[in-house]
Amino acid sequence: MQTLGNFVNGQAVAGQSDRTAPVYNPATGQQSLQVALSSADETREAVRIAHEAFTGWAKITPLKRSRILFKFKALVEEHTDELATLISREHGKVFSDAKGEVTRGLEVVEFACGIPHLQKGEHSMNVGTGVDSYSMMQPLGVCAGISPFNFPAMVPMWMFPIALACGNTFVMKPSEKDPSTSMRLAELLKEAGLPDGVFNVVNGDKESVDVLLTDERVQAVSFVGSTPIAEYIYATASAHGKRVQALGGAKNHMVIMPDADLDQAVGALMGAAYGSAGERCMAISVAVPVGEETANRLREKLVAELKQLTVGPGLVEGPDNDMGPLITREHLEKVKRYIQVGVDEGADLVVDGRDTAVEGAGDGFFLGGSLFDHVTPAMRIHREEIFGPVLAIARAASFDDAVAMVNAHEFGNGTAIFTRDGDAARQYCEQIQVGMVGVNVPIPVPMAFHSFGGWKRSLFGPLHMHGPDGVRFNTRMKTITQRWPSGIREETNHFTMPTH
């Protein structure tokens, strides 16, 4: 069985630790390889290499760093199908979703290519008589990234392109469930001309993460994953003096007003709730129809659509399935348990995904789409993140009730409102306590040149990911106030302008 090691100092290195984790193909349920879980010492060695590489990399002009990223962008484009196949094989998502993920990551690379402009700083003349002020945005040093299983290409690419563009070096710790994509991205960065040691991949679990959170050479930590771990990352790394952005879990609501185009809303919900098998932090997991009539019509249309939903392997000849398998058998069992919890709590299970037969599924981790109705805010299936293909209908009597339901939730990652009423949409955007809001857009993921991040227990730390916040997060501002001796000014004043 192949054992995946690390990528350090410009090359793949075998893992030294005897601890390993299995990596599965979720569509077959078979183990495809194992990943060596790095020891604390191996992680420290990667940090040392990144720390050594920093001085040289930070001195390279932003324009040259940008040129390397331009080459990297071209290489990722050239290898998109290969990367998407790798993603689908280890994560399970359907090929078109996997390609979409690579494209979204590439958009951050494109943004980072503009670093000579983004890192310019500010300048003010004559802040006092003969005194000028200017600021420079300097890199931090070694930055670390820790990513979840559900976007093995996109989430690392939210983090490292801007960090590298700003002149930092990087240690990436991908999810141990689908680690191969980060390793391949490291090879492509090297091929693009990135100097050895500037980008390193350490595969592992808590043991290596803890080194990244506490080693004094690491300056900043970007994390995306579940809320309990995000909270731990934020507390531990902050206590060790690091800059931290830790994005956590979610429970995203879509409010459907009585005047909404219901066919459009249902089409959007199907993709947003069941796409990528619901394993998306921006998935809609709660539909909030306003008024009984809206709710009844919505339910009827969703049931009809669910009958058409195709579930199967992510990599197939011909048209893609709508939904692939879940990431692991444990996660599959956890989502099934949540369905039972909903039933036991008294919610109305309208469509039970546990009954869906998947042709040729074998031992794959498949589950059909489920739909609950009459879910109330107090139920666990409303309060907790399920992270699977389970959609809850939570009926609201009025717009105000819908807003109150969303605002009372502990998470605040994404939300959407479907309506034809501009005033209702505007009020929703103003009142809702959620970081990313869609108006007739089900998954309002900001583009790379805006910043991505939730509110409340979906994000720990002040700065969002990529976009302008990404540049702020990855740089430290220094402000210089300068006055030169007046003699030099006198001399300068005698300079005469050429006449031609």
Residues belonging to the active site: 281
Query: Can residue 170 be called a binding residue for ligand NAD (CB under 6 A)?
Result: no
- The interface region with ligand NAD, picked from 69-77, 102-110, 222-230, 485-493 by CB under 6 A, is 222-230
- The interface region with ligand NAD, picked from 6-14, 102-110, 241-249, 488-496 by CB under 6 A, is 241-249
Tokens of 29: 């349920």
Residue of 247, 265, 266, 403 that binds ligand NAD (CB under 6 A): 247
- Nearest-approach distance from CB 411 to ligand NAD, in angstroms: 9
> What is the rounded radius of gyration, in angstroms, for the C-alpha atoms of the chain?
25
Query: Can residue 24 be called a binding residue for ligand NAD (CB under 6 A)?
Result: no
Task: State the Cα–Cα distance between residues 302 and 324, nearest whole angstrom.
Answer: 19
Task: State the Cα–Cα distance between residues 355 and 170, nearest whole angstrom.
Answer: 45
Query: Can residue 387 be called a binding residue for ligand NAD (CB under 6 A)?
Result: yes
The pattern of x and - marking residues 185 through 214 that bind ligand NAD according to CB under 6 A reads --------------------xx--x-----
Residue of 15, 278, 454, 467 that binds ligand NAD (CB under 6 A): 454
Tokens of 369: 């789409």
- Nearest-approach distance from CB 60 to ligand NAD, in angstroms: 29
- The interface region with ligand NAD, picked from 17-25, 172-180, 190-198, 363-371 by CB under 6 A, is 172-180
Buried b (16+ CB within 10 A) or exposed e, 198-229: bbbbbbbeebbbbbbbebeebbbbbbbbbbeb
Length of the chain, in residues: 500
- Nearest-approach distance from CB 435 to ligand NAD, in angstroms: 9
Segment 95-154, which members bind ligand NAD (CB under 6 A)? 146-151
- The interface region with ligand NAD, picked from 79-87, 245-253, 397-405, 489-497 by CB under 6 A, is 245-253
Residue 382 gets the label, from left (phi > 0), alpha (psi -120 to 50) or beta, of alpha
Q: Closer to ligand NAD at the Cβ: 9 or 458?
A: 458
User: Which residues have a Cβ under 8 Å from the Cβ of 391 and sit 6 or more positions away?
Assistant: 269, 273, 274, 278, 284, 285, 286, 287, 302, 369, 370, 371, 372
Q: Closer to ligand NAD at the Cβ: 106 or 443?
A: 443
Task: Say if CB 58 and CB 136 are below 8 A apart.
Answer: no
Segment 264-293, which members bind ligand NAD (CB under 6 A)? 281
Query: Can residue 226 be called a binding residue for ligand NAD (CB under 6 A)?
Result: yes
- Nearest-approach distance from CB 218 to ligand NAD, in angstroms: 14
Residue of 10, 105, 161, 249 that binds ligand NAD (CB under 6 A): 249
- Nearest-approach distance from CB 426 to ligand NAD, in angstroms: 26
Picking from 320, 321, 349, 323, the residue whose alpha carbon sits closest to that of residue 336 is 349
Q: Closer to ligand NAD at the Cβ: 62 or 453?
A: 453
Segment 392-421, which members bind ligand NAD (CB under 6 A)? 413
Q: Closer to ligand NAD at the Cβ: 35 or 405?
A: 35
Which residue blocks in 173-311 are alpha helix, DSSP H?
Answer: 180-191, 206-214, 227-239, 262-274, 292-308
Picking from 231, 246, 227, the residue whose alpha carbon sits closest to that of residue 411 is 227
Query: Can residue 176 be called a binding residue for ligand NAD (CB under 6 A)?
Result: yes
Q: Tell me the residue type at 437.
A: V
Name the residue number minimizing CB distance to ligand NAD: 225
Task: State the Cα–Cα distance between residues 432 and 410, nearest whole angstrom.
Answer: 13
Task: State the Cα–Cα distance between residues 90 and 112, nearest whole angstrom.
Answer: 28
Query: Can residue 310 be called a binding residue for ligand NAD (CB under 6 A)?
Result: no
Picking from 131, 113, 19, 16, the residue whose alpha carbon sits closest to that of residue 70 is 113
Query: Can residue 17 be called a binding residue for ligand NAD (CB under 6 A)?
Result: no
Which helix (H) or strand (E) segment is 371 a member of? strand 370-373
Query: Can residue 224 be called a binding residue for ligand NAD (CB under 6 A)?
Result: yes
Binding residues for ligand NAD, rule CB under 6 A, total: 28
Residue with tokens 């008024």: 291
- Nearest-approach distance from CB 7 to ligand NAD, in angstroms: 16
Query: Can residue 225 be called a binding residue for ligand NAD (CB under 6 A)?
Result: yes
Q: Closer to ligand NAD at the Cβ: 243 or 299?
A: 243
SS3 144: strand
Query: Can residue 384 be called a binding residue for ligand NAD (CB under 6 A)?
Result: no
Q: Closer to ligand NAD at the Cβ: 33 or 316?
A: 33
Instruction: Write the DSSP string, 328-360.
Output: -HHHHHHHHHHHHHHHHHT-EEEE-GGG---TT
- Nearest-approach distance from CB 459 to ligand NAD, in angstroms: 7
Task: State the Cα–Cα distance between residues 374 and 343, nearest whole angstrom.
Answer: 11
Please state whether beta strands 348-351 and 370-373 pair in parallel, antiparallel, or not at all (unpaired): antiparallel
Cross-strand bridge partners of residue 349 = 372
Tokens of 247: 């994005």
Q: Closer to ligand NAD at the Cβ: 43 or 475?
A: 43
Task: State the Cα–Cα distance between residues 247 and 460, nearest whole angstrom.
Answer: 6
- Nearest-approach distance from CB 233 to ligand NAD, in angstroms: 7
- Nearest-approach distance from CB 172 to ligand NAD, in angstroms: 10
Phi, psi of 476 (to 5 degrees): -120, 130
Q: Which residues bind ligand NAD (CB under 6 A)?
A: 146-151, 155, 173, 175-176, 205-206, 209, 224-226, 229, 232, 247-250, 281, 385, 387, 413, 454, 458
